[in-house]
Amino acid sequence: DSGVTQTPKHLITATGQRVTLRCSPRSGDLSVYWYQQSLDQGLQFLIQYYNGEERAKGNILERFSAQQFPDLHSELNLSSLELGDSALYFCASSGGGNEQFFGPGTRLTVL
Amino acid sequence: SQQGEEDPQALSIQEGENATMNCSYKTSINNLQWYRQNSGRGLVHLILIRSNEREKHSGRLRVTLDTSKKSSSLLITASRAADTASYFCATDALGGATNKLIFGTGTLLAVQP
């Protein structure tokens, strides 16, 4: 158990809908990272937050947004969902070291 | 794409044999890390090697890094069935205030009992 929690574990929704994925980092970790894992794109970095502020952006679509709250949990919002958004979404946290601790992921299926 | 590449894509060995996976990357790095992922689950950090290191050991794991060739290898010795998983290298690019990781394409290792 990495100490990072993600909810929900599974999410099935329809095209055009909006969903919110939630992540709670390890206690004390200020950095939260979001990654997407799909069969065709592999593991892709989406976005990083550090202590509530956006630190870095990767291959994140404009339809996706994220935020980190004062209690350090983070949410990833995916809107106008398309079939191609079906993937595993991982959250990771770190406490200043280089190692990242990954949550179990949310499997999103868009029908 | 910045994504690194790993080879082989898939590797099948017998228990007790050694497994070697290779990773190539594209940019200058601070460090390179290896992660393991059991089927559809979260990634588990295995080992980190810094750009000024050439070799590192952790238990049955041995990692090498050649920054001139932008490549790394992961050796798992005396493999066990429980080592069956996907293995990813991930690089932490040099510069910037972020530690975002760029992952390789992964090697699927199957260890037959």
Write out pLDDT tens, residues B31-46. Answer: 999 999 998 788 999 9
Tokens of A103: 């949550």
| Digit-coded pLDDT (tens) for A67-94 | 999 999 999 999 999 999 999 999 999 9
Contact A5, A93 (CB under 8 A): no
Q: What is the pLDDT of residues B70-98, one digit of tens each?
A: 999 999 999 999 999 999 999 987 666 67
Give pLDDT tens digits along chain A (111 positions): 889 999 999 999 999 999 999 999 999 999 999 999 998 888 999 999 999 999 999 989 999 999 999 999 999 999 999 999 999 999 999 987 788 999 999 999 999
By CA distance, what is A32's nearest residue in B?
B100
By the CB < 8 Å criterion, does A2 face chain B? yes
Which pairing describes strands B10-14 and B107-112: parallel, antiparallel, or unpaired?
A: parallel
Contact A105 B101 (CB under 8 A): no
Strands (E), chain B: 5-7, 10-14, 19-24, 29-37, 43-50, 55-58, 61-66, 71-76, 85-93, 101-103, 107-112
How far is Cα B43 from Cα B34, in angstroms, rounded to an integer?
10
The pairs formed by A60-69 with CB atoms below 8 angstroms and a separation of 24 or more are: A60/A34, A66/A34, A68/A32
pLDDT at B3 over 80: no
CA distance A42 to chain B (A): 6
Task: With H, G, I as helix, E, B as strand and everything else as coil, classify residue A83.
Answer: helix
> Chain B: which residues have CB within 8 Å of chain A?
3, 30-31, 33, 35, 40-45, 48, 88, 90, 92, 96-106
The predicted structure's pLDDT at residue A39: 87
A94 CB near a chain B CB, below 8 Å? Answer: yes
Cα-trace Rg, chain B: 13
* Residues A2, B33: Cα–Cα separation, whole Å: 17
Q: How far apart are alpha carbons B92 and B9 in whole angstroms?
A: 22
